[in-house]
Chains A and B, each alone.
Chain A
Amino acid sequence: MTTYRICGDRFLIVEFGDEVDLSLNFKAIFMKEVIKKEDIKGISDIIVGTCALMIGYDPFEIRMNDLVEILKELEKEGIALDKKIPSRLITIPVLFNDRWTRECSKAHHLLPDLESIAEYNGVSIEEFVSVYTSTDYWVKYVGFSPGLVAFNALDSRKELRSPQLKSPRTWTPPGAVGVHRSGNCIYAVNTPGGVKMVGRTPLLIFDINQKNPAFKDSPALFSPGDRIRLIPLSGEKEYLQIEKNGDSYPYEIEEGTYSGNLMKEAISV
């Protein structure tokens, strides 16, 4: 059941449910694609959430009631899970248990997060890394802070969890990979944060200067509906080598599509 909710005089929220459920997220992304194709006059933004869309409109071009009518018509055409959406597979190298996130925790008088997360999940650090990198992930949304990407395991058996910090950090190293109680994220810029950190990628996932061709369409690397493959790095030498050549680094991006049915199979294995 889709619910339309009023959000001030410039935004409308379209809710597909109220749970962290990737098939609801698929519906939201699919609906975004449908709306984009329709090219409705007056729509300024479409922001994907976990199980909702926030649609920005210009009230001088279109009013909420008319917008809702158009969207209800579009919805009738079907947001079925057998439909496909564009979905790239993007490989991200990560140095787990890295020096920088450990130093950040230390600077906040906190123990290294990875140890507590491994303990919380009842595994060793090595086992954590091995399980954590054995599934591809689904990008639910981009945002909160610039370029931050939020994602969940496509193989739900591999999903690892962590409580959040009781009191948030005042800063976070860009590229830090975090695990929380309902998913994962990569911080794109230095920002305060309450999500515990397990490692760090040397790659930029947000570049306002858009130097690397990976950023040709947007300063944010990811879009909702992309998939992420995390590859563990052997050590700091390899990390620094990639970081140094960031502007010319050949990002591994495989163009593709994904259907809701494929996702349903993946998450219910």
Chain B
Amino acid sequence: MFEVIHSGIMTTVQDLGRPGYSSAGIPLSGAADPFSLKVGNLLVGNRSGEAGLEILLNGLQLVALKKMIIAVTGADLGPMLNKEKILMWSSIEIEKGDVLSFPFIKPSSLKGCRAYLTVAGGVGVPVILGSKSTCLPGNFGGFNGRAIKKGDRIEVGNSLLPFSELKNRRLSEMKRPHFDNPWEIRVILGPHDHLFTEESIEMFFSHAWRVSYKASRFGVRYIGPKFNFKPRPPHQVKRDPKGDPSNIPSQGVPVGAIEIAGGEEPIAIGVDGPSSTGYAMIATIISADVWKIGQSTPDDLTSFRRVGIDEAYQILIDAEEWIEMEDILRGG
């Protein structure tokens, strides 16, 4: 169990989310960087889909209310235990009264922006529609439907394994993801590439896009040149002469779709994003790369690289064989 001393910028309870409810307008939610959460869970002996805390940038401070095994994975935000830096991607035993904190570090000197705190036994919050994830747009799930705040007490479940088996486990260096800026994000062209001029599509793939400060779990905006659209078909002009060419009749939008609102900033839809949109989507990020928008930090540069669907399936198959238990090493 933990008590929150400082909430930090935003800390939420997340597991792998709530798939299958988009038709009720319920977003996927879950960890914005699921790989890091899954590894964190394996390090502390949990099922890979157990809930942990997703920590954005700096400021979080927690005090342990009992002996626990924890791990911090994801972006290295410089976590400290009682004022000493702790190892990332490693399981650590902590004692009652220990203080875990994420000090202030300039975001521009960080690689990635989200860390995951996992704990043996998992974070204990109610399961709603099959998930413990916080749904910020619906104000439900996680810890009382909101980000945690000062004074909250966070329950922890029972460890699946004895602590003696869980101490000092770490992920081999080779298997750790790189949060290096500039990002290369692989996408499949479409569904609405037919609405854009060829020059604009080429520009989308050749430009180095800057991540805007409007970056959150809802979506990430990119700063760069404007887009041009092909002339609208006559029946649409007739119906609405002044219509915006980036508008489409509302339709479903998945996590990772890149919509071009008003022909201006591309927006990559995040895990808490809307379930439908009225803007043309130029491309969709492949499943295996969606986590990259979850670690993209304002001012990072991003280029989008086109892949075909069969290549995307193969990348996904390779990514699913992401980790074997033998990659989790024992001993310091």
A19→B247 CA distance, assembly (Å): 11
Is residue A6 contacting chain B, with contact meaning CB distance below 8 A? Answer: yes
A53→B23 CA distance, assembly (Å): 11
Is residue B123 contacting chain A, with contact meaning CB distance below 8 A? Answer: no
Q: Which of A9, A60, A146 contacts B26 (CB 8 A)?
A: A146
Is residue B137 contacting chain A, with contact meaning CB distance below 8 A? Answer: yes
Residues of chain B with a CB closer than 8 A to A18's CB: 233, 236, 248-249
Residues of chain A with a CB closer than 8 A to B309's CB: 6, 9, 64
What 5 pairs between A and B have smallest CB-CB spacing?
Answer: A54-B252, A49-B251, A8-B284, A47-B252, A143-B25
Is residue A10 contacting chain B, with contact meaning CB distance below 8 A? Answer: yes
Q: Among B256, B257, B274, B275, find the residue whose CB has the most chain A CB atoms closer than 10 A.
A: B275
With contacts A49-B250, A141-B250 taken as known, whether A7 is within 8 angstroms of B191 at the C-beta atoms is yes
Instruction: Give chain A's interface residues, CB within 8 Å of chain B.
Output: 5-11, 13, 15, 18-20, 44-54, 56, 59-60, 63-64, 140-148, 150, 182, 188-191, 206, 208, 218-220
A45→B188 CA distance, assembly (Å): 20
Whether B254 pairs with A63 at a CB distance below 8 angstroms is no
A47→B239 CA distance, assembly (Å): 26
Whether B256 pairs with A49 at a CB distance below 8 angstroms is no
Whether A8 pairs with B286 at a CB distance below 8 angstroms is yes
What number of A-B contacts does a CB cutoff of 8 Å give? 156
Please, which residue of chain B has its CB at the minimum distance from the CB of A64?
B309
A218→B24 CA distance, assembly (Å): 8
Q: List 19 additional A-B contacts (Cβ < 8 Å) besides A9-B286, A143-B24, A208-B140.
A: A6-B190, A6-B284, A8-B188, A8-B284, A8-B286, A9-B312, A9-B316, A18-B236, A47-B23, A51-B251, A56-B22, A59-B313, A64-B309, A143-B274, A145-B274, A147-B24, A147-B25, A189-B137, A206-B138
- Contact string against A for B residues 291-330, beta-carbon threshold 8 Å, 1 for contact and 0 otherwise: 0000000000000000001001100110010000000000
A48→B287 CA distance, assembly (Å): 22
